[in-house]
Amino acid sequence: MAEYKVPLKDMSFLLYEVFKADDMWQKLPKLAEQVDKDTAQAILQECAKIAEQELAPIARQGDEIGVSFSDGVVTTAPGYKEAFNTYAEGGWTALGGDVNYGGMGMPKMLTALHEEMLCSADISFALYPVLTAGAALSLAKHGSDELKERYLTRMYSGDWSASMCLTEAHAGSDLGIIRTKAIPQDDGSYSITGNKIFITGGEHDLTENIVHLVLAKLPDAPAGPRGISLFLVPKFNVNDDETLGEHNKVSCGSIEHKMGIHASATCVMNFDESQGYLIGELNKGLACMFTMMNFERIGVGIQGLGAAVRSYQNALEYAKDRLQGRALDSKVKGVKNPAQEADSIMVHGDVRRMLLNMKALNEGSRALSSYIAMQLDYATYGEGEEQQKGEALAALMTPVAKAFFTDIGFENTVTGQQVFGGHGFIREWGQEQLVRDARITQIYEGTNGIQAMDLLVRKVASSKGVLLKVFTDEVSAYIDDNQNEAGMAEFIAPLTEAVNDLTELTTELLTKSEANINELGASANDYLHVFGYTAMAYIWARMAQVSLTKQDSNGECGDNFYQSKLHTARYYFTRVLPRRISLIAAAKSGCDCMFDINDELF
């Protein structure tokens, strides 16, 4: 496998040239105290060192040895504990945390790039701190001061980690039917009893305590999602002097043996009258959990991107070295590599197609992810209209980040494997691990099918298109402002068509759904991808615009960076964006062909 190199140049390009993050940070008073360009650059560079030097090297043995389980004890693969200690001692577990409890309060635009580095290095490792960061976010927003004082500081220090306990054997996508019970106790705590499955980081040896965020229902709670409450259940109770007390009645029953992410512990967790503490209000637990789930959904999208970036780096290095066949045009233009018995496979159109698909989709995903992170920063630190717009766009785009980035992320791991031919299928080169590791990203944290429903039904249809309009208005204003700019026509024209088609498709689906609601379920997946390719086109246009103005200089980024960007933008608009046309045709074809067929005829 090629050595992982963090794409720092691309990250700086996005932050400072495309999105002007440094201006934004200065403008928002709460962020201005915490971050400026120098701090951000130092953070990215140091994080890159950890990812490249500490985490990427352990991923292979993590996959081969994996986690082990014996008598309720989960042991992580060799090297993981040391790597986690190095990571925590470096302060990385505090990066995005609340400054009032020892966090560094860094903006999402930075922490998202940090997450990408972790995930390119090793998704399994990344899951431990990223889930902890999500749990801390939910606790910071909804927890009582007492719970925050007691738990947050130690989560940010990396002494304690966290898990997210939603899923039960009979309740995955449908959390409204969970059976875990919470009984109120005289001292104000709750007794939690139930079994959760598939809990990432539910038990392990990386930290001295594990803070479980558990969904449960009181006996008299309303049925369905409106009866769910959220509880904090520590593995070890915490004494008043903040030392660790007795082991709570929570245990790991077993771990799963699975297709990928072998170094991540996926646990069956048994809560047996465990002591738990309410987070937020009774019966409003799902909303509190959504603070964590939305964070993790974008995080899972970034996992897909992380694996895809690694796949591209490996495939590119391999393609440059691998000699097979001669270029098709050898007879006309002469042999390209006469000193060798064959040309590098880079001469073949199909290999160039695979590499450019990966490059265009990866750079587009990183840029769109940064754009979404920027909306989250406006939502958290902005004020007035700017803040409301940030919230609206973040809500609209969260399911897109999760599902679109992981679908194309998985596609890109498979494409990278294909570039290797048979050598991609065997273990030696590491490509097959990326495929196996990336596959789960399409499934957990709400399957991509559930994300598509979230986008089309909960976000677009429920708001009667208003949320979507926040996005399409921004794109239309961008088009109006830039359509006459020199060199931009080749990007603006297809972007205009794409955004008009998205609006038209939305109107058609919402209208049809008034007569038959199944129209939404049947077209949701296609719709999400149409949205994803269109949103990515908007971001590619913005990247192309910056690159056009700088193409004659090597600029801050150097290495013909801007020429490469422009070529890739052209590839995206001519070869990738047209995918939306077949998706639109499928989405418009109606739901009858799916529902007219009786179940017995399947």
User: Positive or negative CA dihedral for 286, 160, 255, 71?
Assistant: negative
Position 232, amino acid? L
Q: Dihedral (C-alpha) 302, 503, 456, 597: value to the nearest 10 degrees? A: -120
Out of 31, 165, 293, 327, point to the residue binding ligand FAD (CB under 6 A): 165
Stretch that binds ligand FAD, among 186-194, 196-204, 395-403, 482-490 (CB under 6 A): 196-204
Task: Give strand pairing partners of 275.
Answer: 191
User: What contacts 113, CB < 8 A, 6 or more positions away?
Assistant: 11, 15, 44, 47, 370
In 217-367, which ranges are E strands? 229-234, 236-238, 244-247, 250-255, 266-279
Site for ligand FAD in 451-470 (CB under 6 A): 453
Residue range at the interface with ligand FAD (CB under 6 A); choices 160-168, 349-357, 359-367, 561-569: 160-168
Segment lying near ligand FAD (by CB under 6 A), choices 136-144, 195-203, 297-305, 388-396: 195-203
Element (H, E) at 161: strand 160-165
Q: Single out the residue of 209, 266, 398, 551 in contact with ligand FAD (rule: CB under 6 A).
A: 266
Nearer to ligand FAD, 357 or 513 (CB): 513
Q: Determine how many CB atoms are found less than 10 A away from the CB of residue 328.
A: 11
Q: CB neighbours of 139 closer than 8 A, spacing ≥ 6?
A: 147, 148, 151, 152, 155, 211, 213, 232, 279
Instruction: Dig out the tokens for 323 from the structure.
Output: 């000699």
CB of 36 to ligand FAD, least distance (A): 35
Which residue has the CB atom at the shortest distance from ligand FAD?
172
**Orientation of helix 384-419 relative to helix 466-482, angle to 10°:** 80
CB–CB of 222/283 below 8 Å?
yes
- If binding is defined by CB under 6 A, does position 198 make contact with ligand FAD? yes
Q: Given CA atoms 227, 228, 234, 239 in this order, what sign does their dihedral have?
A: negative
The amino acid at residue 562 is Y
Q: Which of 153, 191, 200, 551 binds ligand FAD (CB under 6 A)?
A: 200
89 is catalytic: no
From the CB of 180, what's the least distance to ligand FAD, in Å? Answer: 11
Beta carbon of residue 363, minimum distance to ligand FAD (angstroms, whole number): 28
Q: Map tokens 């479980």 to a residue.
A: 212
Tokens 């399994």 belong to: 124
The amino acid at 294: N
How far apart CA 499 and CA 471 sit, in angstroms, is 10
Q: Report the DSSP beta bridge partners of residue 149.
A: none
**One residue of 167, 433, 506, 545 binding ligand FAD per CB under 6 A:** 167
445 belongs to the binding site for ligand FAD (CB under 6 A): yes
447 scored as a contact of ligand FAD (CB under 6 A): yes
258 binds ligand FAD (CB under 6 A): yes
Q: Would you state the structure tokens that stand for residue 536, as one six-digit string?
A: 């990515």
Binding of ligand FAD by 444 (CB under 6 A): yes
* The residue count for the chain: 602
Measured distance CA(413)–CA(417) in Å, rounded: 6
Nearest approach in angstroms of CB 412 to ligand FAD is 20
Q: Which of these segments, 54-62, 146-154, 167-175, 472-480, binds ligand FAD (CB under 6 A)?
A: 167-175
Q: Which window, 177-185, 225-233, 283-291, 439-447, contacts ligand FAD (CB under 6 A)?
A: 439-447
Give min distance, CB of 413 to ligand FAD, in A: 16
Provide the pairing of β-strand 244-247 with 236-238.
antiparallel
Per-residue x/- marks for ligand FAD, 322-361, CB under 6 A?
----------------------------------------
# residues near ligand FAD by CB under 6 A: 20
Largest CA distance in the chain: 87
Pick from 1, 59, 166, 403 the residue near ligand FAD by CB under 6 A.
Answer: 166
The reply to whether 450 sits near ligand FAD by the rule CB under 6 A is yes
Q: Which stretch, 90-98, 197-205, 459-467, 554-562, contacts ligand FAD (CB under 6 A)?
A: 197-205
In the complex, least distance from residue 170 CB atom to ligand FAD, rounded to whole angstroms = 8
Taking the complex as a whole, the smallest distance from the CB of residue 325 to ligand FAD amounts, in Å, to: 40
Binder among 164, 392, 419, 475 for ligand FAD (CB under 6 A): 164
Sign for the pseudo-dihedral over CA of 418, 421, 426, 427: negative
Interface residue with ligand FAD, options 106, 139, 199, 537 (CB under 6 A):
199
Tell me how far, at minimum, the Cβ of 297 lies from ligand FAD, in Å: 11
The stretch near ligand FAD (CB under 6 A) out of 143-151, 194-202, 204-212, 346-354 is 194-202
For ligand FAD, which is the closer residue by CB, 189 or 200?
200
**Which of 445, 490, 514, 600 does the annotation list as catalytic?**
445
- Residues 483-502 touching ligand FAD, rule: CB under 6 A, are none
Nearer to ligand FAD, 108 or 439 (CB): 439
Nearer to ligand FAD, 165 or 345 (CB): 165
- Cβ-count burial 152-190 (b if 16+ within 10 Å, e if not): bbbbbbbebbbbbbbbbeebbeebeebebbbeeeeeebb
Q: Could you please report the per-residue DSSP string of 497-543?
A: HHHHHHHHHHHHHHHHHHH-THHHHHHHHHHHHHHHHHHHHHHHHHH
Residue 113: alpha-carbon gap to chain centroid: 11
Contact call for residue 54 and ligand FAD (CB under 6 A): no
We find the least distance from the C-beta atom of residue 241 to ligand FAD, in angstroms, to be: 31
Residue 176 beta carbon to ligand FAD: minimum distance, rounded to whole angstroms: 11
CB 436 to ligand FAD: min, Å: 11
Catalytic residues: 445
Q: What does the binding site for ligand FAD look like in residue numbers (CB under 6 A)? A: 164-167, 172-173, 198-200, 258, 266, 440, 443-447, 449-450, 453
